[in-house]
Structure 1
Amino acid sequence: MSAPDFTISPQLGRNLERVQQRSLIVGIVALLLCVSGAVFAPQQFFRSYLYSYMFYIGLTLGCMALAMLQYLSGGAWGIVIRRITESATRTILLLLFLFIPIVIGIPSLYSWSHDDVVRADPILLYLNVPFFLGRAAFYFAGWLIFAHFMNKWSHQQDAGGGRTLARRLQLLSGPGLVFYGLSVTFAAVDWVMSIEPHWFSTIYGLLFIAGQGLSALCFCIALLVIFSREGGPLEGVIGPAHLHDIGKLMLTFTMLWAYFSYSQFLIIWSGNLADEIPWYIERLRGGWQWIGLVLVAF
C-alpha cells in the first residue's frame, strides 16, 4: 500500500504563508511586551506567564488525551480530529522550553521556594525546588514518550500498518490516559495550587482535566470549521454530522467542568473553614466577581 498524498493546493499554501507571516509579527510584538513586563513588573509578569502557559499546555495535553481516548474506544467521532490532536502533541517539546521562564520565576511565584519560609513551616517540606523540578522533568518525560510513540505508530499506520499498529496504539493509550490523569493532577498541584501552599482542594486536578478536554475540543472544532471552508483541505469531508458529534462532546465537557467548579465552591462555602474561604474571597475582588457572576448566570 502506497503512502497517502498529503500535498496541499497552491492557494492553501499561500494562505498558510500569510498566516505564518502574521503570526511571526504578532509573536515578535508579544515577545517585546513580555520582555518589558519581565523588566518593569517581574512578579506580575511571571504570574501572567504561568496563567497563559497553563492554558496552552492544556490545549496540547487535552488533545493528547482526546487522541488516546479515540484510540482506546475506537469511536468514529475522533477520526476527523485525529490529525489535529496528533499535531498538537508535537508541541510538547516546545512547551518544555517555554517552561524555562517559570523555572526562572520560582522565587517570585512560590513562597515555599524561600528557605526561611520552609524552616518556619515544616508542612511545606514536600514543596522544595529540587523535588519540584524533578517532578516537572518526570511529567514532561512521560508526555514526550507517549506523544512520540503515538505519532510514530500513527504515521506508520498511514503507510499500511494495519491492525497491528492499531492494536499498539490502543495498548499505548490505556496506560497513557492513566499517566495523563495522574501527571496533570500533580502538575496542577505543583504549578498552580502551590502558589497558595496552605490551601488545597481534592477536586483541583479534575478541574484542569475537564478544562483541558473542553479547550481541546473547542480548538478542534474551530480548526475543522476553518479547514472545511471552500478551498480548505477538508472541503467536502467535514459535514454537519461530524460537527454535531464533536459539539455534543464539547457540551459534555462544559457541563463536567461546570459541575466540578460548582462542587468545589459549594463544599468550601458550606464548610466555611478559615483556611479555605480566603481562596474564594481573594478571587471575588478586583473585578473578577463580575466574571464569576456571568459564569454562574450563563
Structure 2
Amino acid sequence: MSDALFRGWLLAWIVWSAVPVGALVLTLIHAVTGGRWGEVLAPAFRPAITLVPLVALTFLVALTFLGVVPGLEAAFPWAAGTGAQPDVLRYYLDPALFGARAAVTLVGWSVLAFLCLTGRCGKLAAGLGLSFYGLTISLVAVDWILSVEPGFNSSAFPADVALHQILAALAFAALVSSPTLDARGASDLAGLMLAALLGAIYLELMSYIVAWYGDLPPKAAWYLKRGESPWSAVLVASLAIGGVLPFLALLFAAVRKSPALLRGVGLLVLVGIAGHFAWLVLPAYGAGAGPAAVAALFLLAGLTLLSSLAGRILARRTRRLRHV
C-alpha cells in the first residue's frame, strides 16, 4: 500500500464515519432526554446507525493489514519511533496500544449501535453509552487526527470532533429528509443544526485564540503550516461553505420550515465538514498531501457506495432482530 493510498484512506474514513457515529450519539441523547425531535429524525438516523459496525470493520481490517504491511508509518510518524518524546512513544503512541484503543472504541460503539437498533437501549444504557463515548472520543480523536503531527495538543479538540460528528449526522438527516416532513419537524432539525454549527465554530475560534495567546512554538507551527497556501484557501472555503452560508440560511424561517431548502443546507454542511477534516489532516504530509487528497476522494466515493449497499442489508437484518 503506497503512502498516498493509506493517507487518503485515513482522511476518507474519518469523513465517512462522522455521520454514523454522530447519529449514534444523537440517538443515545434522545434515549435519555426524549423529545419529538428524535422521533422525527429516527428514519434518517437508524440507517446511519446500522453502518457503525461497518465503520469498525473497515478500520480494524485495515489496521490488521497494516500490521503486516508497515504502512502505518505513512500516516503516523510516531509509528516509526520518531516525532514525539520517548515516554510518549513508549506509553501512549505505540502501535499495539493504538490498535487496542481503536478496537475497544469501535467494538464498544458497535455494541451501542446494536442496542439502539434492537430497541434494548434504555435510559441507563444510553447514559452509560454516552459516558463511554465521551471517554473514547477523547482518546481516539487524538489518535486518529492530531497524532498525524505529534507535538500539537488541544484539550478542546475531542469536543470539537464530537460536535462535527453530531453536525454531520444532522446535516445527513436534512439531506435525506422526506418531502413529507412537516414544518415543525423541519424547524426542530434546523434548530439542532444551528446549535451544533454555532458550537463547532465557537470551539474552533476559542481554540485558536487560546493558542494565539499562549504563543507556544509547537502550536504556532501547527497553525502556521495550515495557514500557508493552499491550506488557507481550504480553511476559508470550508468555513464559508459549511459554516457561514448555512448559518445565514438558517436565520430565515422559510428555510427552517422547508425540507427542500434544508437539503441544500445539509449538503453544504457536509462539504464543509469534509474540507475541515482535510485541513486538519493533510497539511501534515507536506508534498504528499496532494496525492493523498486525490486518493481520499476516490476512497470516499467507494466507502459511500459500500455504505449504501451494506446499509440496506443491515437494515433488513435489524428489522428481523426487532421482531425476535
TM-score normalised per structure 1: 0.73
**In structure 1, how many angstroms separate the alpha carbons of the residues matched to 2:84 and 2:175?**
49
Which structure 1 residue ranges, 5 or more long, are not aligned? 1-37, 155-167, 229-234
Q: CA deviation at 1:173?
A: 0.9
Higher relative contact order (CA 8 A, sep 6+): 2
Which residue of the other structure, out of 216, 219, 222, is the alignment partner of 1:273?
216
Deviation digits for residues 96-120 of structure 1, max 9, x if unmatched? 23213355231211111124x3897
**In structure 2, how many angstroms separate the alpha carbons of the residues matched to 1:255 and 1:52?**
25
1:179 paired with 2:122, answer: no
Task: Look up the match of 1:250.
Answer: 193
1:53 paired with 2:6, answer: no
Task: Look up the match of 2:89.
Answer: 124
1:101 paired with 2:62, answer: yes
Change (3 A) 1:83 1:172: farther
Question: What's the secondary structure of 2:31's corresponding residue?
Answer: helix
**In structure 1, how many angstroms separate the alpha carbons of the residues matched to 2:230 and 2:85?**
34
Task: Look up the match of 2:234.
Answer: 291
The answer on whether the counterparts of 1:59 and 1:212 sit within 8 Å (CA) in structure 2 is yes
Amino acid across the alignment from 2:154: S
Which structure 2 residue ranges, 5 or more long, are not aligned? 245-324
Change (3 A) 1:260 1:96: same
Which residue of the other structure, out of 207, 210, 213, is the alignment partner of 1:264?
207
Which structure has the greater CA radius of gyration? 1
The answer on whether the counterparts of 1:46 and 1:101 sit within 8 Å (CA) in structure 2 is no
Amino acid across the alignment from 1:89: I
Task: Look up the match of 1:133.
Answer: 99
The answer on whether the counterparts of 2:56 and 2:110 sit within 8 Å (CA) in structure 1 is no
1:241 paired with 2:184, answer: yes
Give identity over the alignment, percent: 25
Task: Look up the match of 1:23.
Answer: none
RMSD: 2.0
Question: What's the secondary structure of 1:60's corresponding residue?
Answer: helix
Choose 211-220 or 86-95, whichever is displaced more.
86-95
Deviation digits for residues 142-197 of structure 1, max 9, x if unmatched? 1111111111126xxxxxxxxxxxxx522221111111122122111111111112
Amino acid across the alignment from 1:101: A
The answer on whether the counterparts of 1:124 and 1:197 sit within 8 Å (CA) in structure 2 is no
1:66 paired with 2:66, answer: no
The answer on whether the counterparts of 1:47 and 1:109 sit within 8 Å (CA) in structure 2 is yes
The answer on whether the counterparts of 1:59 and 1:219 sit within 8 Å (CA) in structure 2 is yes
Task: Look up the match of 1:112.
Answer: 78
Amino acid across the alignment from 1:199: F
